[in-house]
Amino acid sequence: MPSPNSQVKQRLNELEVHLKTENQLLVEVVKSFRKLDRVAYRLGLLKTDQSFAFHVPWWPMISVLGTFSAGKSSFINRYIGVKLQESGTQAVDDKFTVMCYSKDKESRSLPGIALDADPRFPFYQMREELEKVSPSEGARIDSYLQLKTCPSDILRGQILIDSPGFDADAQRTSTLRITDHIMNMSDLVLVLFDARRPEPGAMRDTLQHLVGETVTRSDANKFLYILNQIDTTATEDNPEEVVGAWQRAIAEKGLTAGKFYTIFNPEQARPIEDDRVRERLEAKSNADLTEIYARMGQVKVERFYRIVANLERTAHQIEDELVPRLVALKKKWRSGVAWRSALFILPLIVGAAVAGIYGQLNSAPWLNWLIGSWQTAAIAGVPFIIVLIWIYALIKKSAAAKISKTIPVNASDLGAERREGIINAFAHNTGFWNSIFRTSPVGWSWRSKKTLRKVFTNADRYVQELNNAYTDPSGKQNEASTPSDKEAAPVHTAEDVSATENATQETKIN
């Protein structure tokens, strides 16, 4: 039975040791992921150097996406209280920057390999994903990713990601792949737009990728859409029309429900002469910013539910999507092998039978020699059988190759990792020793089904334990520690930021 290689076992063991000091429940979740891995190894969905646990960010993760000059970096600096990211119209970072806490007084900027080699970070093995885009892209991982450390207490126990300015028209395939990866892995995604930039109608492709392709997701509620630098509308004859234009453009992409936030940074805002307009914009910005910060503060609790949901979703995906797809692919393969065999092998067998009958009727000398002893029959028959087996193997391989080419298109609704898994599993099920008479996928046995049932049961139990920790409908529980007591975030509001901005204005960590 296939099993994970020693490197995967070591990394999962290290992950369990790390999580044990934080929350024992997450250690149990890792063990459940190990069970799913064993099912996937038997089915061929995972290679032995892979694990479903590597596709889960085990720390709370917030991503900030947006268009060029949308104020992403200044938003992050304001949130963490430190000028960590360069900001401005020209000072634009062209890498995906992962920010995490460090007790060192000075910030450090580490290369992309620091993220690629650590399974606790969201870009683990991203080098391999980039190689799938282009054979040379993986070696350039430092051009795409970097890790920055910061002593800000706001970053304790969570990861914050800043992204390069987004433009779907000009974006490279590799950058889009990383962007999609971030959106899949994050607990919360902030999508910022610039109120100063062109009319939203001119950004249709960008809006389609950042909005249109997210509203139909099962986790669409983790996306917050923010119109930044709204202070620039103060000089407009009708400031509300600017906001309305963006709202209509986003609604056209499917986002008809949910909150659309409007904010600006007073420290970087242009002077607003009309006191009434300024007060109205400030009140709206502070209210929205407080709501955004509150949602960001909830991520540390939501993260536990997200990890358990990821476990259950992966198990359901195996049972409800991947296995049925494999069954359908095997059915096509069996059909392809059958008609190819009828086309190539059947004529050979019929021809041999006709030749034998003809030789017997005409007392052909070669037939008398062939049936004269079992040795002579074996000399002639074994090569013939070997040729038939060789042709049959080529037929099976040809049928599998033709179907494999269609998988990326037919499975486009799945993520890149799952598509790769389907391709590997199909190859695993159509090898030389696999019979066309077996309808179920290799590895899909009662034991695999029982394992999935146990994972579903455990996932429900994990959710119940989380509910016991965070809820008390009866009001009878005594005060008790929760799974995230040690990482509870300080209350963070727009007023807190405004009060500390002057104190941190001169603090710039290089």
Classified as helix, coil or strand, 100 is strand
Spell out the alpha helix ranges (H) of 4-163: 6-20, 24-43, 72-80, 113-116, 126-133
Nearest partner of 84 among 67, 66, 60, 101, judged by Cα: 101
Distance CA 13, CA 34 (A): 11
**63 phi/psi in degrees, rounded to 5:** -115, 145
Which residues are CB-neighbours of 3 under 8 A, at least 6 positions away? 38, 41, 48
DSSP secondary structure, 35-62, as one string: HHHHHHHHHTSS-TT--GGGGS--S-EE
Beta-carbon contacts of residue 161 (< 8 Å; ≥ 6 apart):
61, 62, 63, 64, 96, 97, 98, 99, 122, 182, 186
- Measure the CA–CA gap between 288 and 264, rounded to whole angstroms: 10
Distance of CA 484 to the CA centre of its chain: 25
Instruction: Fold for 57-297+489-504, please state it.
Output: Rossmann fold (3.40.50)
- Inter-residue long-range contacts of 153-156, CB under 8 Å, 24+ positions, other chains counted: 153/101, 153/490, 154/79, 154/80, 154/81, 154/489, 154/490, 154/492, 155/80, 155/99, 155/100, 155/101, 156/101, 156/487, 156/489
Residue 258 φ then ψ, to 5°: 95, 170
CA angle 382, 383, 384 (to 5 degrees): 90
Q: Which residue has the tokens 């502070």?
A: 286
pLDDT for position 446: 94
Please check whether residue 166 is in contact with residue 180, taking contact to mean a CB–CB distance below 8 angstroms: no
Contact status, residue 195 vs residue 270, Cβ threshold 8 Å: no
Q: What single-letter DSSP state applies at residue 477?
A: P
Burial class (CB in 10 A: 0-12, 13-18, 19+), 364: middle
Cα–Cα distance for residue pair 266/37, rounded to 1 Å:
50
Paired strand residues for 194: 228
Q: Is 160 within 8 Å of 80 (Cβ atoms)?
A: yes
The Cα–Cα gap between 89 and 298 comes to 31
Q: Where are the alpha helices (DSSP H) in 91-187?
A: 113-116, 126-133, 173-185
Q: Give the strand pairing for 223-228 and 188-194.
A: parallel
Q: Which ranges of 362-373 does DSSP label H, i.e. alpha helix?
A: 365-370
Could you report the average pLDDT of every consecutive run of 10 residues in the chain (510 residues)?
Answer: 85 87 89 96 92 85 84 87 72 77 86 78 75 72 86 87 70 73 85 72 63 70 85 68 74 67 81 77 90 90 88 94 93 89 73 57 51 55 76 88 82 71 90 86 94 96 91 67 46 53 44
Q: Is the dihedral of CA 18, 23, 26, 28 positive or negative?
A: positive
d(CA 11, CA 226): 38
The H-assigned helical ranges of 318-437 are: 323-361, 365-370, 374-404, 407-410, 416-429
Return the structure tokens found at 388: 């038939």
Output the 3-class SS for 231-284. Answer: HHHHHCCCHHHHHHHHHHHHHHCCCCCCCEEECCCCCCCCCCCCHHHHHHHHHH
Listed by start position, the domains of the chain span 57-297+489-504, 316-440+448-454
Are β-strands 260-262 and 223-228 bridged in parallel, bridged antiparallel, or unpaired? parallel
CA distance 77 to 88: 12
d(CA 151, CA 105): 6
Within 8 A by CB and 6+ apart from 10, the residues are none
Closest CA to 100 of 156, 57, 56: 156
pLDDT of residue 318: 94
| Cβ pair 326, 366 in contact under 8 A | no
CA-CA distances (angstroms) from residue 43 to 38, 223, 308, 327? 9, 34, 23, 12
